[in-house]
Amino acid sequence: MVMEIVCPAGTPAALRAAVKAGAHTIYCGFADETNARNFPGLNFDRVEMRDSVAFAHQHGSKVLVAINTFPRAGDEAIWHRAVADAESCGADAVILADAGLLDYAARHHPNLRRHLSVQAAAANADMVNFYAETFGVKRVVLPRVLSVPEIAAINAETEVETEVFVFGGLCVMAEGRCSLSSYATGRSPNMNGVCSPASHVEYHDHNGVLDAQLGGYTIHRAQKGDAAPYPTLCKGCFSAGEKTDHLFEDPVSLNAEQLIPQLQKAGVTALKIEGRQRSRSYVTQVVRNFREAVDALEDGRPMPQGMLARLSEGQAMTTGAYKKTWR
């Protein structure tokens, strides 16, 4: 069976672009703190969600709604409402991270398919099976810390579908467990849906030398002519002991395009593209590229060579943990 391309959409226009470019499935979220891409000018209100789901269905694509932040104590109703609204908008599934919210969805919306978000960081078969048995989760988005053999080992021990990231911004921690952004800005992906939020970002250009700051800290300095980075904390340049370097991760994006055949052999069902904060131009180019790749694989043709480097952070790409040798 052809591998499923799961594509991001930050706006209804990006969703339409994804459908047109051949995405089998699109994931998106409501314009509030219930989704982990709560950026200015992005996401869907309820009417836009209903219309967009209808549009996708008309053209044979599915829509997944990410409600993947962790409900704040006392404010759980906001997250409960999001689940109910996703169902009434016709979503094909919700992507959830919080065990309490999964439990709520399983009890109150049993017919709404549940996927486990990468934010839940389910990184072994026991955990995957626990979510499936306890909350009826049908698919798990695996964290970006696993190698291909580790993914194969998980799939060998579970019936649950697995989805893995193949392209886009790289979060290098076991997701949902990173406090770097909270430390520097008071806002985190887990609670507010933003890592290294734009509201705390400032760029200063000194005669071509670009300082990228987050919360007043200079995270990166790009020399004249070098690619500009977004000051995501884990991809900053830090001094520790004698060393000044990108201590956690280089400012690079994930591109596992050439690993698709191996991922298929490892039993992966769906390939996920990161980038709900990106434009419809990005969505079109990346989806076309990956659709072509999975179609080629299905037909036994050679994999096309990618043209996606210029879309990447730092204009540089890595296969991430799939082939990782840690520092």
Residue numbers of the site for another protein (CB under 8 A)?
10-14, 16-17, 20-21, 39-42, 197-199, 201-205, 210, 222, 225-230, 250, 252, 277-282, 284-285, 307, 309-318
Residue range at the interface with ligand SF4 (CB under 6 A); choices 81-89, 145-153, 173-181, 238-246: 173-181
Nearer to another protein, 20 or 291 (CB): 20
With binding defined as CB under 6 A, does residue 94 bind ligand SF4?
no
Tell which one of 12, 22, 143, 189 touches ligand SF4 (CB under 6 A): 189
Alpha helices of 22-145 — where are they, by DSSP H?
46-58, 76-88, 99-108, 125-135
The rounded distance, in Å, linking the Cα atoms of 231 and 218 is 8
Question: Helices 125-135 and 148-156 sit at what angle, rounded to 10 degrees?
Answer: 40
Measured from the CB atom, the residue of 67 and 233 that comes closer to ligand SF4 is: 233
Which residue, chain included where needed, has tokens 């998106």?
28
Nearer to ligand SF4, 87 or 175 (CB): 175
Q: Which is nearer to another protein, 169 or 176 (CB)?
A: 169
E-state strands within 179-319: 201-206, 209-214, 217-222, 238-240, 243-245, 253-255, 270-273, 317-318
DSSP assigned state of 160: S
As measured in angstroms, the least distance from the Cβ of 145 to ligand SF4 is 10
Burial 250-267 (b: 16+ CB within 10 A, else e): ebbbbbbbebbebbbebe
Least CB distance from residue 23 to another protein, whole Å? 13
Nearest in space to 39 (alpha carbons), one of 148, 194, 271: 194
Q: Are 79 and 117 in contact (CB under 8 A)?
A: no
Contacted entry of another protein, ligand SF4, none for residue 284, CB cut-off 5 to 8 Å set by kind = another protein
Secondary structure element (H or E) that encloses residue 25, with its range: strand 25-28
Q: Is there binding between residue 143 and ligand SF4 (CB under 6 A)?
A: no
| Closest CB to another protein among residues 12, 176 | 12
Which partner from the list another protein, ligand SF4, none does 227 bind, CB cut-off 5 to 8 Å by kind? another protein
Closest approach, Cβ 137 to ligand SF4, in A, equals 22
Position 25 contacts ligand SF4 (CB under 6 A): no
Strands 139-141 and 161-169: parallel
Residues in region 197-236 near ligand SF4 by CB under 6 A: 232-234
Q: Select the span of 70-78, 85-93, 177-185, 295-303 touching ligand SF4 (CB under 6 A).
A: 177-185
Residue whose CB is less far from another protein, 225 or 302? 225
**Burial degree of 218 (CB within 10 A; 0-12, 13-18, 19+):** middle
Contact yes or no for 10/28 (Cβ under 8 A): yes
Quote the tokens at residue 12: 């209804």
Q: How far is the CB of 189 from another protein (least distance, A)?
A: 16
Structure token pair of residue 209: 């030398």
Q: Select 192 or 196, whichever has its Cβ closest to ligand SF4.
A: 196
Number of residues that bind ligand SF4 (CB under 6 A): 12
141 binds ligand SF4 (CB under 6 A): no
Among 19, 36, 97, 171, binds ligand SF4 (CB under 6 A): 171
6 sits in which H/E element: strand 4-8
Among 67, 195, 270, 286, binds ligand SF4 (CB under 6 A): 195
* Residues engaged in binding ligand SF4 (CB under 6 A): 171-173, 178, 180-181, 189, 195-196, 232-234
